[in-house]
Amino acid sequence: MTDAGRLARWAALPVAAGALALAALAVAHGSRPLYDGSWLLLDDTGGLFLAVSAMVGLAGVLLSPAYLRGREGAHARGSEAWYYGVLFAFWLALLAVPLCANLALAWLIIDATTASSALLVAFSGRREALEAGWKYLILTALGLSLALLGIIVIGIAQALIHHHDLSALSFGALRRDADLLPHGTILAGFVLLIAGLAVKIGWAPVHNWLPDAHSEAPAPVSALLSAALLPTVTLVAWRVKDALAPALGARTAATVFIAFGVASILIAIPFLWRTMPWKRLLAYSTLEHMGIIAVGIGFGSRLALTGVAIHVAGHAFGKALGFYSAMPLGPDEQPTPGHPRPGLLARRRLPAIGMGISLGTLAGLPPSPLFVSELLIVLGGIATGHAAVSIVVAAALALGFLGLLHAMLEGVVGDDAPGRVLPAAEVAS
């Protein structure tokens, strides 16, 4: 391990420990925020997202040497220092977002993640990775520009009731003033903001960057993108929804989330049935699960929100494990269209076990926590009068379950094709 790797490991431990301690304090304090100011917010929901980002980020730093060992040459060795530097910048920004009590500050930190994560997506230097990095950078920058326009509109509405500084954009101030805010202006600002954040979250139909970026990035970065970044940006959208619901009407705010969520689930399902490389399959699974979280937030009942909390944690575990399990697999060991490459368990036992657990977890195969969370979200939707939407979501989740189960049985557990000659790389492994 290089000096940069050793330093990164030693630095990651206190960062993660501090974040987890802060998260534990916030969660232990219960439903009332531990601290709620104009700029800093410590509550149980933010504590959950903070803990997830801390654990996923720590795993990313600790497992990065395994990824970097696969890169050869002096240029690769010289790039490790900036890799860890940019990775830490990305991770620290993710840890800061759940603690933001101000919409403008949250937007600024989310925007800061764009440049660092785009560099990390393109880190391998492959043509496909460079294209994915640029695509991610351009599309998410456009989305965040739209979100900024929404924040400006909301800020103008606040200025109309005599608030003229950025503290007026704190979630607490928005919540207190919601009844006084003009409905039309707030609705326009809210739609612009959520549509812009949807690009960064990867909700359909503005998810185009997600499959390429997740599949081309280094495994530790893919795990952070999928398990930490997207849920963390969703938290900001969630806080805006709750703060502005009195001005918008609770049903209007919920409908926006449900619409994005259902679209994401339905668009993801056909891709989960296709044969594709493992990381790309996991990327489309992320689209599905971000949709499930959006639907649960939109339903808004106690059952559904409990399901959302379980889902965020379970998805982070399953998705990070999947990306790390795919890390040691070369191109000749990946399923591709027309070449499903069955029998990973017989050839690469440890990655196969990890991938099998990941796919089973993400599919919601009992005793996966996602089975419980999805059940709670569907029941929560029925309890709030969204029976038709709940039925559609349940049917789509069943199809997604079958698609991921098929990938697990065929690609992980299935026997090698009779008479197939193994490449020398496989024999050596």
Residues 111, 12: Cα–Cα separation, whole Å: 23
| Cis-peptide into 369, omega within 30 deg | no
- What tokens were used for 69? 């060992």
The pLDDT of residue 397 is 97
User: What is the residue-wise DSSP string for 281-296?
Assistant: HHHHHHHHHHHHHHHH
The conformation of residue 422, written as its DSSP 8-state character, comes to P
Whole-model pTM over 0.85: yes
Mean pLDDT by 10 residues, the chain (429 residues): 81 96 93 91 96 97 89 56 94 97 97 95 92 96 97 93 83 92 94 97 96 94 97 98 94 96 98 92 97 98 97 97 91 69 77 94 95 98 96 97 92 61 37
The pLDDT of residue 5 is 79
The pLDDT of residue 418 is 42
Strand partners, 170: 102
Residue 338 burial (10 A CB sphere; 0-12, 13-18, 19+) = exposed
How far from chain centre, in Å, is Cα 5?
25
Q: Dihedral sign for Cα 380, 382, 386, 388, please.
A: positive
The pLDDT of residue 166 is 87
Segments in 29-126 forming alpha helices (H): 44-68, 74-78, 80-96, 103-121
Q: Quick one: angle between helices 278-299 and 349-363, nearest 10?
A: 20
